Amino acid sequence: MISTDFQFMKLSIIILAAGLGKRMHSEQPKVLHLLADKPLIRHVVDTALILKPDSLYVVYGYKGELVRQAITEPNSQFPIPNSQTNINWIEQAQQLGTGHAVAQVMPNIADDNIILVLCGDVPLINSTILQTLYSQADANHLGMLTVELDNPHGYGRVVRNVAGEVECIVEEKDANVNQKQIKEVNVGVYTIPAVHLRRWLALLNNDNAQGEYYLTDIIALAVQDNLSIYSILTHNIYEVMGVNDRTQLASLERYYQTQQVNRLMLAGVTVMDPTRLDIRGTVQTGRDVSIDVNVILEGEITLGDRVKIGPHTVIRHAKIANDVEILSHCVIENVVIGAGCRIGPFARLRPDTVLAEQVHVGNFVELKKSTVANGSKINHLSYVGDSKVGSGVNIGAGTITCNYDGANKHKTIIEDRAFIGSNTQLVAPVKVGAGATIGAGSTITINAPPDALTYTRSPQKTIADWQRPCKKK
């Protein structure tokens, strides 16, 4: 036995993500498929970072540039802040197996490291169990996670001797009839001293059913070297389940959603039907929030005390203050909503909209890049874009800010206490003064002065002997 004693072992994490994911039948690399709107690989990277590794490697291959971009590009949906980590990207040009994948990284890793291997397609691996595994790691032990499955088909089986010690891992395709009966399977997560791993990887061959260099073969090599192997049996199958096809992806999504929604309920939120709320991001909640059925919350969301969200509503990135009521069928993105506002039903609040307090936005109203001050009402069938609306304003049904001239966007300013009659077009850039009244049906192209009535209606006529046209024979 080769004994090595390093007093201070460093932690290197390797995430394997080069596989194509044949069973997804997709143009996209498997690890870019989304769970709760976040790429699988990002779940694993985020968990890896909790362990504060000395270095982190991602092995990429199939359409690897896309994988890199999805994580590192500033405009990608879930960029990792540079300050947080440096991910080392290692290309595995040909996918010759998990052992071959790890071997690509080894030239970068010194002997005094413990290597933690994770799979990019096991998104819900939990940092607590990884901490437990790592806390037992040292230069003379190989650690691995296992799980017992009623249906172990497809997984590598953990073969033990009569004393119950791990002897080797046998892949499904290489297993004999007896081995296939084994229900304890390999999760694909190991802690391995680098100094030994380097030696074992050099001994791997691809003499097996899949013609691949299996990382799992190092277990038998460790046994040969008399290195002790410890295994931790996990009990939560979802946390160690790999995504190989879309049914597995869907079942992990459902498990994840159940966890998220339970967390909200335990924090004091009333959820009308826990199976009909999806959370794809982070939600902070005040007291006595209630959420009706078929609601989707995405991105970063804050809900103040007593916020009520009606059914069939999608909210993405929003700060919603106390006592806001959102009625059914609203679509809300990137907005700030002040205390006591009432939104919907059927309202659409688009990005960069800021509502102060007690604002009412009613049915079939679209707001974009607009601010609305306290107590103003836009209750029916209106479009308000690139606008600054003062306080106590009433915007009548069917009001449209014509903010776009075909080339550029222009601003509309509506000052405090203005009253905009129904079916008005405000052709921007234009300003309606404080306390102004705009007569219904007007097309306003010139600034309307404060405290006066402005309208552009043509005089009403009556033609007494008017005949309606008749149908031609």
| Residues acting as catalytic residues | 380
Number of Cβ within a 10 Å radius of residue 296: 17
In whole angstroms, give the CA distance from residue 276 to residue 272.
Answer: 8
Asked whether position 156 contacts Ca ion by CB under 5 A, the answer is: no
Phi and psi for 282 in degrees, rounded to 5?
A: -120, 135
- Contact between 234 and ligand UD1 (CB under 6 A)? no
Cis upstream peptide for 152 (omega within 30°): no
Q: Interface mask (CB under 6 A) for ligand UD1, residues 172-211, using x and -?
A: -------------xxxx-----------------------
* Closer Cβ to ligand UD1, 16 or 448, answer by number: 16
Nearer to Ca ion, 35 or 343 (CB): 35
Asked if 242 is part of the footprint of Ca ion (rule: CB under 5 A), the reply reads yes
Q: Is 120 in the site for Ca ion (CB under 5 A)?
A: no
**Closer to ligand UD1 by Cβ: residue 117 or 418:** 117
Alpha-carbon distance 263 to 257, whole Å? 10
Give me the least distance between CB of 184 and ligand UD1, in Å please.
Answer: 10
Residue 436's contacts (CB-CB under 8 Å, 6 or more residues apart) are 415, 418, 419, 448, 449, 450, 451, 452, 453, 454
- Of the two residues 12 and 186, which places its CB atom closer to ligand UD1 in the complex? 186
Task: Decide: helix, strand or coil at residue 285.
Answer: strand
CA dihedral sign of residues 438, 444, 450, 454: negative
Least distance between Ca ion and beta carbon 312 (Å): 36
Q: Number of residues interacting with Ca ion: please give it, by CB under 5 A.
A: 1
Q: Which stretch binds Ca ion (CB under 5 A): 155-163, 242-250, 394-402, 423-431?
A: 242-250
239 contributes a contact to ligand UD1 by CB under 6 A: no
Give me the 192-231 binding string for Ca ion, x by CB under 5 A, dash otherwise: ----------------------------------------
- CA proximity to 11, closest of 138, 104, 140, 187: 138
Angle formed by the axes of helices 98-105 and 194-203, to 10°? 130
Backbone angles phi, psi at 44, to 5 degrees: -70, -40
Which has the closest alpha carbon to 252: 35, 418, 402? 35
Distance CA 319, CA 284 (A): 10
Query: Considering only residues 148-177, where is the footprint of ligand UD1 by CB under 6 A?
Result: 155-156, 169, 171
Residue 271 corresponds to which tokens in the numbers above? 């959820």
Is residue 19 within the footprint of ligand UD1 (CB under 6 A)?
yes
Binding mask 95-124 for ligand UD1 (x = CB under 6 A): xxxx-xx-----------------xxx---
Residue number, 64 or 242, with CB nearest to Ca ion: 242
Nearer to Ca ion, 242 or 286 (CB): 242
Closest approach of ligand UD1 to the CB of residue 68, in Å: 14
Task: Choose among ligand UD1, Ca ion, none what residue 118 binds, the Cβ cut-off being 5 to 8 Å by kind.
Answer: none
Instruction: Establish if 29 lies at the interface with Ca ion (CB under 5 A).
Output: no
Cα separation, 35 vs 44, whole angstroms = 11
d(CA 366, CA 371) in angstroms, rounded, equals: 13
Q: E strand or H helix at 228, and its extent?
A: strand 228-234
Stretch of residues binding Ca ion (CB under 5 A), selected from 3-11, 236-244, 382-390, 459-467: 236-244
Q: What Rg, from alpha-carbon coordinates, does the chain have?
A: 31
Among 216, 234, 399, 403, binds ligand UD1 (CB under 6 A): 216
User: Identity (one letter) of the amino acid at 24?
Assistant: M
Closest to 174 in 3D by CA, of 156, 152, 199, 147? 156
The length of the chain in residues reads 473
- Which of 59, 115, 335, 438 forms a contact with ligand UD1 (CB under 6 A)? 59
User: Which C-beta is closer to ligand UD1: that of 17 or that of 277?
Assistant: 17
Q: Any contact of residue 252 with ligand UD1 (CB under 6 A)? A: no
Residues that bind ligand UD1 (CB under 6 A): 16-19, 59, 92, 95-98, 100-101, 119-121, 155-156, 169, 171, 185-188, 214-216, 242
Residues of the shown chain interacting with Ca ion in the complex, contacts defined by CB under 5 A: 242
